[in-house]
Structure 1
């Protein structure tokens, strides 16, 4: 009996152990299944993660490439910026130089204009001084010519007047740097006087009047004095005008100047009378154009 009880007890113990072991195996099997499912899930997640990691790697590489390209572009941009700054500075420098050059050019223009004005004024002053000097030469010869009126010898005074006229022309040629030729000069002064027939007539009559004793000598001398002075005055004005216009003895046209000579002859008479008798001439200035 006791052995049966032991056996029964043992059997029960074995059965209980089997049941517990079976339950434990079942639980373990279930746990393994759950773990297997979890492993599969994790493997799937890992696979997905690996795919995402590959994508992340590609994106990372592209990002690195983009950053590298941006760095190159940034360097190029900096280089171009420096180049633009250099060009801008050069442009500013050129503009400053251009402004300076323009200012210098304007200054040169202003100075040139002022210089031209000064030169014109100097030339005008020189011409005026030269003209005044020429008029003084005429007056000097007028004094010499008027003195001929006091010579008592008829006709000699007319010949002497021609000599004074020729000498006046020689002096004016020298004054205006014009080549003088005595033969051409004689023909010119002769043409001027002969072109005014009344002048020759009056000169001849005044000279011959000296043959009359007394009042004829005095009257002829005074008339000859006025005419000699006026003739030299008119001769001087003609050649002063001709030379100041750039003329020479070779291009002198006596016929062209005859009207002007007659006009200046009348002014010369008034001028001589004003000097002799203290009256003012009513004629125009000898330097006016007819």
Structure 2
């Protein structure tokens, strides 16, 4: 069996030895091969049928356990998915700052499967290298091989991100280098894949608990949010200035009606939209 089916010979011997002892205990010596004799074929077929029934019962039990594990884990995973990395380009001084969204997402997932603490800085952010090491080990803990593959892919993309995206703000001798984020879509895809694997793994740590997301700097993390708020403030100030000018200039009724239409149809709705979008959850698209 070890030769033709593969595997460790000692493991096969152990499995056969346990099966031999079990057959002796249940008084089924008719299934044990004797030297120079073949076992009873009818008895073997009967035993195979019994084994098939037993295997189906085990599979049904495993399926039920997995379903219960998924029901238990889904509320936690759904909560984490609210902070999935977005495909919006981030504003950071280097790759590590731009990859903070994915790093924190993976940290929270890892801690659902292993409650061993992960070192963080004073803002709650962890080192991506540490997270990827822990992520890779989930392959052994959960039996899902794709964890290691995902960790390798993320590490390769991050290594590339550390060397690309740099450009000189001033081409002169006194210019300094700035960093431009180019990997937001890759981080978003990796975050979604990690959530899928977490559901495929299903069985969380017995003490699984949802840790809060790390603090973020809205201006540096998600620039468009700040841009929306800035646009709302600018339009509000502009509308106020136009109103003051009309009052001071003694504008005609026609001018007030025109301004009223412009403010009611254009300015106010846009300001309201900018405020709503700018105050939404900073980690969502």
Q: Check whether TM > 0.5.
A: no
Instruction: Name the structure where helix makes up a greater proportion of residues.
Output: 1
Q: Which has the larger radius of gyration?
A: 1
TM-score normalised over the length of structure 2: 0.29
Larger RCO, structure (CA 8 Å, separation 6 or more) = 2
TM-score normalised over the length of structure 1: 0.28
